[in-house]
Structure 1
Amino acid sequence: MTIINKSLYPVSSTLSTISKMSKQFENLQLQLATGNRYNTLAEMGSDRVHDINLRNRLSRIEGYQANILTVENRMSFYTNGLERLDEIEGSARDLAVPNAYGTDGINLTNARNQATNLLKEVIDVLNTDITGQFIFGGNKSDTKPVSSFEDIMNGPNGFVRYTENRNSEDMGTVAGNSGRIDQALAADTITLTEDGDHDFGFKIASVTTTGTAITGTAAPVDPLQPDAEQVATITAGGVPAKGDAVTIGVTFPHDRETVQYLTFTATDTDPVPEGGFAIGADADETAANLDAAIAGKLENLTKTDLRSSSTYAAADGFFNGMGETQDPNANAWYNGQDSTNPRQTVSANIDESTKTQYGVQANEKGFVELIKGLAVFSVSELSPLDEENAGRYDALVDIQRSRLSEDNNAQTGAIEVITMELGIAASTVNTVKERHSQYGAQLETMLAEISEAPKEEVAMMLLTLQTQLQASYQATAMASQLSLVNYL
């Protein structure tokens, strides 16, 4: 009996083909299970470089998106804080209503209490933190940028004591000296002399007269030091006519650029109206009457306008702004970074060539002016209601309305300007974020085309390969059983 030679049927090559098909079947099963076209970089061939580049770019986008999320979180806190500070600024303006004393001066007491509470809230807002990072201190975010209310106001060198010292310096305590102006009368001549070369009290800016009977001049005490103490000389060379006037220009501690004019008008009316002086029988009597009118006016202003101005001057010295040296006699109220460009103190890369800058400092002008205004009212004891306290209140109101006016909203460092600048930064961030989303989606699609296995296509290939394998197995099995004996 002769068996057909195996060479008549290529079993080995057939088995090799079946093995390859089985391996391909396993790979297709794995693709269907994992969704990945390739299991190793080696399998990717020429697609490997494109896959790596796409993944690197996507990784960079994810990093930028993480930075954007950090910026957005901080921006949301800024938005809430700035909105509240703007509301408090409006409340501070509402405190400054001329002649609004209330019944028995109740509004004067309320103004102080309300200012105190608002100041505490301002400090809390400026000490806002995100997981321990304080956001109103520039890039110095590990400590509270603003000291506590108690330390600022009532500390050993706090604002209360600092203001008391400043008030004492500005008002003067020597008899015949009001607001640091020495006043003397000799016959028909009145002299007003600043009592030293310093920045306290009134400063004499000018003297002018109308008519020919009274003359006046203002000049340095020492011609060799024209910016040192000044002296005003007023001489009644005769009896003035009714309506002749003497005007003295003075400046106040909180604002040396603005001159306030005190006008005294000659009158024969009895009693003498406010702002007037009686025409005397001769030049000496007229000078005495004018001297008394000037002294009375300076004394009244010293207790009212000057004291309020002095308190604001104390606030200017205590709550220093950007780049200014802290007064050595005052507590440090601000502990954050002190940069002339606060926005640049904190930045984040949000794209390859795009950086957003969004730092904020609690010692920017808008915040400082708000703190000053509230602190001034907080330390000002304005009750009971009397002429002196009413005058002080009205003087505070005038300064407050000027300092916190909406007209200042366009100044650098104003709360509104900070809000606008952060809004521009937020707009840039949103634009870049949208671009990243669109570009990232495109990259994901390109990557999917390379690395992801299409399920429908893989399933069809599996079915086709399954059919081919089954046919191959059957053919091989049939061929392996063939022999000549079966046909004899």
Structure 2
Amino acid sequence: MDVSKYSYTGLNGSQAARLQAQRSQLTDLTTQETTGLKATTYEGISNPALVLSFQQKIAQNESYQSTISTIDTRLSVIGNCVDSLSSLSSEVSSELGTSGYQLTASGRTSEQVAASNALEAYVSPLNTDVGGAYVFAGKASDVSPVVDVETMLNGDGVRAGYKQVAAERLQADLGSDGLGRLDLSSSGSTVTLAEDGTHSFGMKLSGATSTLSNVTVSGPSGTPASLSLAVTGQPTAGQAIELTLTMPDGSTSKLTLTAKDSSSTSTITDAADGSTGTFDIGATTADTAANIQAALKTALTAKGETDLTAASAVQAANDFFDTSGGGTPMRVDGPPYDTATGLIAGTTSNTVTWYRGTNDANSSRLDAQARVEDGLSVNYGVRADENAFTSQIKQLAVISSIDVSGGTDADKALYSAVVDRTKGPLETTTGSDSLQSVAAEIAGAQSTAQSASDRMTVASNTYQSAVDDAMNADSTEVAVKLTTLQTQIEASYKASSILYKLTLTNYL
């Protein structure tokens, strides 16, 4: 009998393989229990390519969200600064004109002092830096964008500040005789008023209406414009002529002269701002023409001291501060200034450049960009020379700098003219190209970035859930499998032990 096939000297191949598999499974389950992972390599999990893709997506989203967190701080700072500037402008505008003309010991009105303090408070936020980067300087974030107020207004001893530029402009607007660059003359019974040249300075003749009988008004017409009043007979008391004058800042001003009998008492007075006046009806037409000429000179002189001076200060602020888009401060080409016919660009050696940040023709928002999501970027650059900010700075500079220290009726009228011109722009913090529009654009960029972050949070959670399902072991399931496997292994070892002890005698 061949009994070799029943002999046993150890474990047969299948038993050994089964025990080896069980030991390998035990090791694998023990590793899962220890690490919490189904496998220590991607080869040991299902669909490893998809898991890797999801993990890359999660890492990319985390990178985007880190960028969003960084710019969110900057955007919040910018938004808070713009809000504070808007509030400051509203406070100043609401106070302007409420106290009237009340000089303080400094020779300025209380409202001028408040405006001066507001200008200091306005410049400070525009020089805000976040982590060493000046947020209102465009790309030039390593430079504080706005010079200090003292240098801005008064210069630095070598370079002219706003006040000097405004003083030169006022000379050019008033002319040598204070009549606003208008030539006033008469010949016989005809009075002529003419602009002294083709330039942007002084008062311009825009219109004339008359109820004066026996006075022929011609013009204004021509280039430069002129008008004439030919007295052919005597007008009637109470009749008047009204001239419309255009000021350097584009505003218009009226001048009305009313005829009166030299012997009568008129209720019309010569206004300190030159808006109203009277002339006597003379004994002859030549006398009446001479009286009209004298009244015009008085009224135009008053206009020059008030409306024209205020308009000149405003226009000088436009010349000095409006430098965005790559521009430079402009000033009167002189000396002499009182006969000047044009402006010239100030240089870095003779004129203060009040804004030192990025200044080119590109959109300021493009100065700072951040990619916050695949295919999505936000633009959040801001420059202190944007019109939204410059407009407010100009008004505060004009109010702070105008000299009304004399206490005269002309000073009071000048101050009123300045308030009338600056109060409106300070109140205009809404609409396009305003503080509100800047705030809205910054808030929009911040909202866009935050929405992207929220979307990525949802996506990353979804990706992470799929990765966890693929990679993380279920501890309860692993424990059950370990217990079952340990029982199986014990049974296998017991069976193997019995077989290992089996002999032919025992078998038979």
TM-score by length of 1: 0.89
**Does 1:165 find its partner at 2:144?**
no
CA distance in 2, matches of 1:233, 1:134: 58
User: Does structure 2 conserve the Cα–Cα contact (< 8 Å) formed by 1:101 and 1:107?
Assistant: no
Deviation at 1:32, TM superposition (A): 1.8
CA distance in 1, matches of 2:417, 2:176: 21
Which amino acid in 2 is paired with 1:291? Answer: Q
Deviation at 1:340, TM superposition (A): 5.0
**Does 1:373 find its partner at 2:376?**
no
Deviation at 1:481, TM superposition (A): 3.6
Q: Which residue of 1 aligns with 2:375?
A: 353
1:169-188 mapped onto 2 (5 Å cutoff):
169-174=172-177, 177-188=178-189
User: Does structure 2 conserve the Cα–Cα contact (< 8 Å) formed by 1:4 and 1:484?
Assistant: no
Question: Which consecutive residues of structure 1, in runs of 5 or more, have no partner in the other structure?
Answer: none
CA displacement, residues 361-405 of structure 1 (integer Å, 9 cap, x when unaligned): 222222111000011112123224321221111011110123234
CA distance in 2, matches of 1:235, 1:324: 50
Out of 229, 236, 247, the position equivalent to 1:234 is 229
Identify if the C-alpha distance between structure 1 residues 324 and 215 changes in structure 2 by more than 3 Å, giving closer, same or farther: farther
1:57 alignment partner, SS class: helix
CA distance in 2, matches of 1:214, 1:348: 71
**RMSD over aligned Cα, in angstroms?**
2.7
Q: Which residue of 2 aligns with 1:450?
A: 470
1:208 alignment partner, SS class: strand
**Does 1:262 find its partner at 2:284?**
no
Is the deviation greater in 160-169 or in 352-361? 352-361
1:178 alignment partner, SS class: coil
CA distance in 1, matches of 2:440, 2:11: 83
**Does 1:404 find its partner at 2:426?**
yes
**Does 1:248 find its partner at 2:243?**
yes
1:143 alignment partner, SS class: coil
Which amino acid in 2 is paired with 1:423? Answer: A
Deviation at 1:219, TM superposition (A): 4.6
1:250 alignment partner, SS class: strand
Identify if the C-alpha distance between structure 1 residues 149 and 33 changes in structure 2 by more than 3 Å, giving closer, same or farther: farther
**Does 1:434 find its partner at 2:454?**
yes
CA distance in 2, matches of 1:366, 1:230: 35
Out of 284, 296, 319, the position equivalent to 2:298 is 296
CA distance in 2, matches of 1:272, 1:290: 18
Identify if the C-alpha distance between structure 1 residues 79 and 434 changes in structure 2 by more than 3 Å, giving closer, same or farther: same
User: Does structure 1 conserve the Cα–Cα contact (< 8 Å) formed by 2:107 and 2:404?
Assistant: no
Q: Which residue of 2 aligns with 1:333?
A: 354
CA distance in 2, matches of 1:414, 1:218: 40
Out of 410, 425, 437, the position equivalent to 1:417 is 437
Q: Which residue of 1 aligns with 2:335?
A: none
User: Does structure 1 conserve the Cα–Cα contact (< 8 Å) formed by 2:89 and 2:427?
Assistant: no
Deviation at 1:484, TM superposition (A): 5.7
Which amino acid in 1 is paired with 2:368? Answer: V
Which amino acid in 1 is paired with 2:86? Answer: D
Deviation at 1:355, TM superposition (A): 2.4
Q: Which residue of 1 aligns with 2:190?
A: 189
Which amino acid in 1 is paired with 2:243? Answer: I
Which amino acid in 2 is paired with 1:180? Answer: R
Corresponding residue pairs, total: 474
Deviation at 1:209, TM superposition (A): 1.9
Which amino acid in 2 is paired with 1:323? Answer: G
Identify if the C-alpha distance between structure 1 residues 324 and 15 changes in structure 2 by more than 3 Å, giving closer, same or farther: closer
User: Does structure 1 conserve the Cα–Cα contact (< 8 Å) formed by 2:15 and 2:496?
Assistant: yes
Identify if the C-alpha distance between structure 1 residues 236 and 471 changes in structure 2 by more than 3 Å, giving closer, same or farther: same
Which amino acid in 2 is paired with 1:263? Answer: T
Is the deviation greater in 472-481 or in 309-318? 472-481
Identify if the C-alpha distance between structure 1 residues 391 and 105 changes in structure 2 by more than 3 Å, giving closer, same or farther: farther
CA distance in 2, matches of 1:297, 1:456: 100
CA displacement, residues 316-344 of structure 1 (integer Å, 9 cap, x when unaligned): 00001532621222322222233453333
CA distance in 2, matches of 1:36, 1:424: 43
1:190-205 mapped onto 2 (5 Å cutoff):
190-205=191-206
Deviation at 1:157, TM superposition (A): 1.7
Deviation at 1:12, TM superposition (A): 5.2
TM-score by length of 2: 0.86
CA distance in 2, matches of 1:99, 1:196: 40
User: Does structure 2 conserve the Cα–Cα contact (< 8 Å) formed by 1:100 and 1:107?
Assistant: no
2:357 alignment partner, SS class: coil
Which amino acid in 2 is paired with 1:262? Answer: L
CA distance in 1, matches of 2:399, 2:18: 96
1:301-340 mapped onto 2 (5 Å cutoff):
301-323=303-325, 325-326=327-328, 327=330, 328-329=345-346, 330-337=351-358, 338-339=360-361
1:112-191 mapped onto 2 (5 Å cutoff):
112-155=112-155, 156-174=159-177, 177-191=178-192
Which amino acid in 1 is paired with 2:385? Answer: N
Identify if the C-alpha distance between structure 1 residues 123 and 234 changes in structure 2 by more than 3 Å, giving closer, same or farther: same
2:194 alignment partner, SS class: strand
CA distance in 1, matches of 2:169, 2:126: 27
Identify if the C-alpha distance between structure 1 residues 180 and 267 changes in structure 2 by more than 3 Å, giving closer, same or farther: same
Identify if the C-alpha distance between structure 1 residues 109 and 289 changes in structure 2 by more than 3 Å, giving closer, same or farther: same
Which amino acid in 1 is paired with 2:37? Answer: N
Deviation at 1:19, TM superposition (A): 3.0
1:120 alignment partner, SS class: helix
CA distance in 2, matches of 1:86, 1:140: 24
Identify if the C-alpha distance between structure 1 residues 107 and 429 changes in structure 2 by more than 3 Å, giving closer, same or farther: farther
Which amino acid in 2 is paired with 1:188? Answer: S
Deviation at 1:54, TM superposition (A): 0.9
CA displacement, residues 61-81 of structure 1 (integer Å, 9 cap, x when unaligned): 222222322332222112211
CA distance in 2, matches of 1:110, 1:20: 95
Deviation at 1:199, TM superposition (A): 1.4
User: Does structure 1 conserve the Cα–Cα contact (< 8 Å) formed by 2:237 and 2:260?
Assistant: yes
Q: Which residue of 1 aligns with 2:90?
A: 90
1:141 alignment partner, SS class: coil
Which amino acid in 2 is paired with 1:471? Answer: A
Q: Which residue of 2 aligns with 1:41?
A: 42
Q: Which residue of 2 aligns with 1:389?
A: 411
Deviation at 1:147, TM superposition (A): 2.4
User: Does structure 1 conserve the Cα–Cα contact (< 8 Å) formed by 2:107 and 2:405?
Assistant: no
1:273-284 mapped onto 2 (5 Å cutoff):
273-274=268-269, 275-284=277-286
CA distance in 1, matches of 2:227, 2:98: 32
1:190 alignment partner, SS class: strand
Deviation at 1:230, TM superposition (A): 2.4
Q: Which residue of 1 aligns with 2:273?
A: none
